[in-house]
């Protein structure tokens, strides 16, 4: 192969590459072997027609176009991946193809390329940073939650009241037809919690254990499922069991029962300390994000669509994995939210654009400031991962490419550099 010309314009590069007949024949032969079972010629059984006979009837280069696909990895590595004039992103497209009489083929390929970044101000950036604090109300709320967690539950035989735990079976219908997600058995509902749509819990109040009742409600107009929004529904409800929660007093006894402390004051101090640490982590994280956003905003760069799409793929895959852990697919979630996968991608796109911008700007800062990751640092990172996942280090290395780890470490080191050189302003 020979690169005849390379032209780069903004975020796009065009490469003209000449491929000799021998290499094209290699691809054409693979294409022929894949397709011959579907080709029929008079006098030959299906799949037995010689390539030369097919080419004589349909044209000498009938398999060349499909042959390009077969040898495309070699073409890409030579003309795109190995091109020193740019760094490609995404998959290149074939714009033109010319086959000479001797079989020499000339391809015109185009690809989006990694953008050029002109940095603006990135050291000494002034960013607002909050001060960590914990209020008495937050501590009291945590104490109430602790008391709720150790509360005992007692069954009662009386009419249901607000605050009770009602164990119910229910079946919802609209115009006599059941709908998805509208039925359950043995469901524990705390009356007054607002867990169900308005009007439902209020109508369970007053029911006795074993009683059955039709509950009439209307879904809110802004309900998440468009199929149900604004529609009147009837729920056939049966009250199986009624319980009350006995929440202990918030005192020294609670501290002894629910923690390693002897007094309520010691427990309060521990809660305050931990909440203060959490608050500081959030403030530091927000400060980091704000610094990176400010540096990115000061830079001049045009982000190619391929980078945004790649980031979108990462975010969709990550979100899908987290949904899968809770027993739901991305498709199910999209439908529940009244959309589809394309709707979800569009919702994720602004964040993907922001992440793609931050990524290229951080890479440029790392290049300018000569921020690197040594082999020792890389090895230490692998060791830390192996420890975290309780795996052999060689197993981790086989699963996670070194370049991926190095890229993540470079990003973290660059963010730290920017934060260390930023100026925190009081709110």
CB 93 within 8 A of CB 72: no
- Residue 404 structure tokens: 């991926």
Q: What's the pLDDT at 426?
A: 87
pTM: 0.69
> Is 239 in contact with 211 (CB distance < 8 Å)?
yes
Interstrand relation of 212-218 and 232-246 (parallel, antiparallel or unpaired): antiparallel
Closest by CA position to 365, among listed 416, 403, 400: 416
CA 245 to chain centre: 39
Residue 204: predicted pLDDT: 96
Structure tokens belonging to residue 145: 């939650």
Q: State the Cα–Cα distance between residues 106 and 3, nearest whole angstrom.
A: 10
Q: 166 with 204: CB under 8 angstroms?
A: yes
Coil, strand or helix: which one is 213?
A: strand
CA distances from 256 to 140, 147, 179, 251 (A): 17, 12, 48, 9
What DSSP string runs through 24-88? HHHHHHHHHHHHGGG---TTS-TT---HHHHHHHH-TTTTHHHHHHHHHHHHIIIIIIT-TT--E
pLDDT at 278: 96
Domains within the chain, CATH numbers bracketed: 2-113 (3.30.70.1050), 152-246 (3.10.50.40), 264-425 (1.10.3120.10)
Q: pLDDT averaged over consecutive 10-residue blocks of the chain (427 residues)?
A: 84 88 86 80 76 79 82 84 83 86 86 91 94 95 94 94 95 94 94 93 96 95 89 96 94 94 96 97 96 96 90 90 86 82 89 94 95 94 92 92 92 96 91
pLDDT value of residue 78:
83
pLDDT of residue 145: 95
């Amino acid at each position: 192969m020979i690169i005849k010309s390379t032209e780069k314009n903004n975020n796009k590069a065009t490469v003209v590459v000449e491929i000799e007949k021998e290499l094209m024949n290699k691809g054409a032969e693979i294409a022929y072997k894949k397709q011959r079972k579907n080709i029929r010629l008079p006098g030959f059984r299906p799949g037995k027609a010689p390539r030369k006979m097919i080419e004589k009837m349909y044209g000498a280069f009938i398999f060349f176009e499909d042959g390009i696909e077969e040898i495309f990895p070699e073409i890409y590595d030579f003309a795109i991946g190995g091109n020193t004039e740019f760094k490609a992103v995404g998959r290149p497209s074939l714009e033109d193809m010319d086959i000479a009489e001797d079989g020499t083929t000339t391809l015109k390929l185009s690809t989006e390329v990694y953008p050029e970044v002109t940095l603006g101000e990135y050291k000494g950036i002034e960013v607002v940073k909050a001060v960590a604090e914990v209020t008495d109300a937050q501590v009291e709320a945590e104490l109430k939650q602790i008391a709720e967690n150790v509360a005992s539950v007692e069954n009662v035989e009386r009419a249901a009241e607000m605050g009770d735990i009602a164990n119910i079976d229910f079946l919802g219908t609209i115009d006599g037809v059941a709908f998805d997600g509208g039925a359950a058995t043995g469901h524990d509902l705390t009356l007054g919690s607002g867990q169900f749509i308005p009007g439902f819990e209020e109508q369970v109040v007053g029911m006795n254990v074993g009683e059955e009742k039709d509950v009439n409600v209307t879904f809110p107009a802004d309900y998440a499922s468009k199929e149900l929004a604004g529609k009147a529904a009837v729920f056939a409800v049966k009250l199986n069991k009624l319980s009350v929660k006995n929440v202990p007093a918030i005192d020294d006894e609670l501290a002894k029962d629910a923690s390693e402390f002897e007094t309520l004051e010691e427990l309060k101090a521990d809660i305050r300390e931990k909440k203060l640490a959490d608050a500081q982590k959030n403030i530091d994280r927000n400060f980091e994000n704000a610094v990176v956003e400010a540096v990115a905003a000061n830079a001049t760069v045009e982000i190619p669509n391929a980078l945004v799409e790649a980031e979108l793929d990462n975010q969709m895959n990550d979100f899908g994995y987290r949904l899968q852990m809770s027993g739901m697919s991305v498709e199910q979630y999209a439908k529940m939210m009244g959309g589809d996968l394309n709707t979800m991608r569009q919702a994720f796109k602004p964040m993907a654009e922001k992440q793609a911008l931050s990524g290229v700007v951080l890479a440029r800062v790392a290049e300018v400031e000569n921020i690197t990751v040594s082999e020792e640092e890389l090895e230490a990172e692998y060791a830390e991962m192996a420890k975290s996942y309780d795996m052999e280090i060689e197993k981790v290395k086989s699963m996670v490419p070194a370049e991926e780890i190095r890229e993540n470490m470079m990003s973290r080191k660059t963010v730290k550099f920017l934060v260390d050189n930023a100026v925190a302003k009081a709110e």
